[in-house]
Amino acid sequence: MRKLILATSVALLTACSAPQQEQINIMPKAALSNSDIVQGSTFSLTSKDMRSAQYIALVDSGRSNIEPIHAKQNLRISIENALLEQFQSQGFRSTLNSQNSIFVEVQQALVTVKHSIMENEMDGKVVLQVTAETPRGKLVKTYTGTANRTGMLSASKDEIELVANDVVNLVLKDISEDRELQDYMRERF
């Protein structure tokens, strides 16, 4: 019994002292509207993360070593909260039992980083699918944002974070400015 307790203690201490993976902050900023599109039309908002892996960045140092970097926050919830704030700034009101619904699917969110000692190249891509549904129909739209950035030396965690947030914010801005989605929600919600 003592050996089992000792082995368990050693395993726990080893796990506690293992290096933690790097994480970055993903904090989407809602693209807020200056004026209401509607007055109090209700909707319910749900979302789902369809990505097969939950990391936000892949860093390739060129030595057959690819390191995933995760977000500190839950990406799906962060995007959902930003979209909720956007729609509320347009005059929509979120409720749990509305017949009108918006469903957001996170299909892709990744920054690929290739770097060496002398230079780095980052490619970011975010794909969100938004489905606005009412008893009178459904509108499905896909929004894609991309960004490319090159720099000197290795890419820092802050630079990767900047690219990831910029691409997410770009997609959120596209959603907030989409006239077709606005018209659909104004007429049917």
Cα(183)–Cα(186) distance, integer angstroms = 5
What is the 3-class SS of 5-38, one letter each residue?
Answer: HHHHHHHHHHHHHCCCCCEECCCCCCCCCCCCCC
Mean pLDDT over 126-153 rounds to 92
If you search the block for the tokens 């890419």, which residue do you land on? 155
Give pLDDT tens digits for 39-85. 878 999 999 999 998 899 998 877 778 889 999 999 999 999 999 99
pLDDT per residue over 83-130, tens digit each?
Answer: 999 999 999 999 988 899 999 999 999 999 988 778 888 999 999 999
Q: What domains can be seen in the chain, in order of their start residue? A: 23-188 (3.40.50.10610)
Strands 93-94, 42-49: pairing kind? parallel
Give mean pLDDT, residues 131-136.
93
pLDDT surpasses 70 at 13: no
Looking at this protein, which amino acid is placed at residue 135?
A: P
Position 173 pLDDT exceeds 90: yes
- The answer to whether 41 touches 185, Cβ cutoff 8 Å, is yes
Q: How confident is the model at residue 15 (pLDDT cuts 50, 70, 90)?
A: very low
The CA distance from 167 to 147, in Å, is: 6
Cα 75 to Cα 56: distance, rounded to the nearest angstrom:
9
- Which residues are CB-neighbours of 138 under 8 A, at least 6 positions away? 131, 132
The answer on pLDDT for 18 being more than 50 is: no
